[in-house]
Amino acid sequence: MSGDVGKELWLVRHGQTTRNRDGQLAGWDDVHLTAEGESQALALQPRLQGEQFDQVWASDLSRARRTAELGWGPVPTDRRLREIHFGDLEGLPWLDLAPEHKDALLKFDGFEAPNGESLVQLEARVLDFVDTLPLGRHFLFTHGGVIRLLCHRLGQAEFVQPGTITVIDWHTRTLIRRSA
């Protein structure tokens, strides 16, 4: 299936959870999809129909696993595809974050969660996973922070909404498309 393809990454952010709906941080907390999140996951089926991938993976957190099950089917999981570990900030509303945490997350630079993970640590684990992927097309059911991190390497670090598909050519570091 790889053919002429270098390393194409299809990334989908899991469906809606109560945490992202309510503006709260959900890193490694294992929160579940809402009914809307399940609908977003099911809506992936027709968008993926006819697509072929060399590998399909999901984060081991239930919101990404469930999105994969509903949108594609059962897939292997890997902890390296998890969201950033927000440590003491897990579950806090965005509005209640200290200004320095908000600023670092918005700039996507210099963030380090107290008793959690830094962006540098997130990058190391995610790139460790991506670097192990062979050439070809890969579909990854993951989280907003992981997608932002990979897009940041392309010079773009926008937030992506739940259920959004982002496609990048990892070899050329090019955004191919993004669709909600």
The answer to whether residue 130 sits within a structural domain is yes
Catalytic annotation present for 138: no
Using DSSP's 3-state secondary structure scheme, residue 83 falls into: coil
Residue 38 lies in a domain: yes
- The whole-number average pLDDT for the span 128-140 is 97
Cα separation, 44 vs 160, whole angstroms: 15
Per-residue pLDDT of 54-93, as tens digits, reads: 999 999 999 999 999 999 999 999 999 999 999 999 999 9
- Does 1 reside within a domain? no
Question: Among the options 8, 83, 90, 117, which is catalytic?
Answer: 83
> What HEC string does 26-77 produce?
CCCCCCCECHHHHHHHHCHHHHHCCCCCCEEEEECCHHHHHHHHHHCCCCCE
Residue 14 annotated among the catalytic residues of the structure: yes
pLDDT tens-digit readout, 35-57: 999 999 999 999 999 999 999 99
CATH label of the domain that carries residue 54: 3.40.50.1240
Answer yes or no: is pLDDT of 150 > 80. yes
Given a cut of 70, whether residue 4 has pLDDT beyond it is: no
pLDDT band of residue 3 (cuts 50, 70, 90) is: very low
Q: What's the structural domain count of the chain? A: 1
Residue 2 lies in a domain: no
The verdict on residue 115 lying in a domain is yes
pLDDT at 2 over 90: no
- 8, 14, 101, 117: the active-site residue: 14
For the beta carbon of residue 54, count every other beta carbon within 10 angstroms.
17
Does 152 reside within a domain?
A: yes
| Full residue range of the structural domain in which residue 146 is found | 7-179
Closest among 152, 169, 134 to 54, alpha carbons compared: 134
pTM of the model: 0.93
Assess if residue 75 is contained within a domain.
Answer: yes
Helix orientation angle between 144-152 and 119-132, rounded to the nearest 10 degrees: 80
